[in-house]
């Protein structure tokens, strides 16, 4: 998992050579952005669209920033500010349209295997469903912490909430997920 410290040289490289470094940023960070967007939105096509749009917007913004501002960016938190806003907008748009059932194939990568694998896959499917049932503040905090791997300080930047609130949302979100799981598996 890429840590914030690992990305510090990338901000310096972006500041010095944006066009040369941006492809590396895309290759390195698009997986995390896509995974998070997928779990926030529950739709693979929407996640693709949001990830692409977020990276394009990031590049346009970086083009306009002075180098010292780029050097001081907390890159993942900043990228997730853009991505989380796009996810929220996408959810709002979707709420105004007729609902589409969540595609169960997005839950896990298909993996033929023994019976215990099938049971585990079912558990993961349930988890994906429960995650999508959480209110946005908890869902976004839990996904960014435990699926994407951001720290609380990065999530605070991404979601524009105090770090203490983020920690509380993560804690309450995990508690809610455990409760939902226990209710289905008494």
Partner 1 sequence: MTIESDLAALTAEPPASLTGRVLAAVDLADEYVERPSPLGTLFVAFNVRGVCAVDLAPNAAAFEAAHATGGAGPRSPPATCPIRSPATSTPPSPGAIRGDSPWI
Going from the C-alpha of 28 to that of each of 3, 42, 75, 79, the distances in angstroms are 12, 22, 12, 12
Is there binding between residue 31 and partner 1 (CB under 8 A)? yes
> Which one of 2, 4, 8, 59 is in contact with partner 1 (CB under 8 A)?
59
> Which one of 117, 118, 133, 181 is in contact with partner 1 (CB under 8 A)?
181
Other beta carbons within 10 Å of 11: 21
CB 167 within 8 A of CB 159: no
Residue count of the chain? 186
Please identify, among the stretches 26-34, 65-73, 74-82, 85-93, the one whose residues bind partner 1 according to the rule CB under 8 A.
26-34
Euclidean distance between CA atoms 186 and 182, whole angstroms: 5
- What part of residues 124-143 is at the interface with partner 1 (CB under 8 A)? 124, 127-128, 131, 142-143
Is there binding between residue 65 and partner 1 (CB under 8 A)? no
Is there binding between residue 160 and partner 1 (CB under 8 A)? no
For 162, the token pair is 């105090």
Is there binding between residue 80 and partner 1 (CB under 8 A)? no
Going from the C-alpha of 7 to that of each of 75, 109, 181, the distances in angstroms are 7, 28, 36
> Which one of 10, 14, 38, 82 is in contact with partner 1 (CB under 8 A)?
38
Does residue 150 sit in helix, strand or coil?
coil
For 32, the token pair is 């995390």
Please identify, among the stretches 37-45, 76-84, 90-98, 111-119, the one whose residues bind partner 1 according to the rule CB under 8 A.
37-45
- Binding residues for partner 1, rule: CB under 8 A, are 17, 19-24, 26-27, 30-35, 38-39, 44, 48, 51-52, 55-56, 59-60, 106, 108-109, 120, 123-124, 127-128, 131, 142-143, 146-147, 149, 174, 177-178, 181
């Amino acid at each position: 998992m890429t840590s914030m410290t690992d990305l510090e040289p990338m901000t310096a490289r972006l500041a010095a050579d944006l066009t040369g470094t941006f492809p590396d940023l895309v290759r390195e960070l698009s997986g995390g952005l896509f995974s998070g967007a997928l779990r926030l939105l529950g739709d693979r096509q929407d996640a693709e669209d949001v990830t692409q749009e977020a990276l394009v917007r990031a590049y346009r913004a970086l083009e306009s920033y002075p180098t010292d501002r780029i050097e001081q960016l907390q890159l993942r938190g900043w990228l997730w500010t853009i991505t989380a806003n796009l996810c929220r907008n996408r959810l709002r748009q979707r709420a105004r349209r007729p609902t589409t059932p969540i595609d169960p194939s997005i839950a896990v990568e298909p993996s033929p295997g023994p019976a215990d694998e099938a049971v585990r896959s079912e558990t993961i499917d349930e988890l994906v469903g429960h995650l999508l049932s959480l209110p946005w503040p908890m869902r976004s905090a839990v996904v960014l912490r435990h699926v994407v791997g951001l720290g609380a300080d990065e999530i605070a930047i991404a979601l524009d909430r105090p770090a203490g609130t983020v920690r509380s949302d993560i804690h309450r979100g995990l508690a809610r997920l455990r409760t939902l799981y226990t209710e289905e598996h008494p």
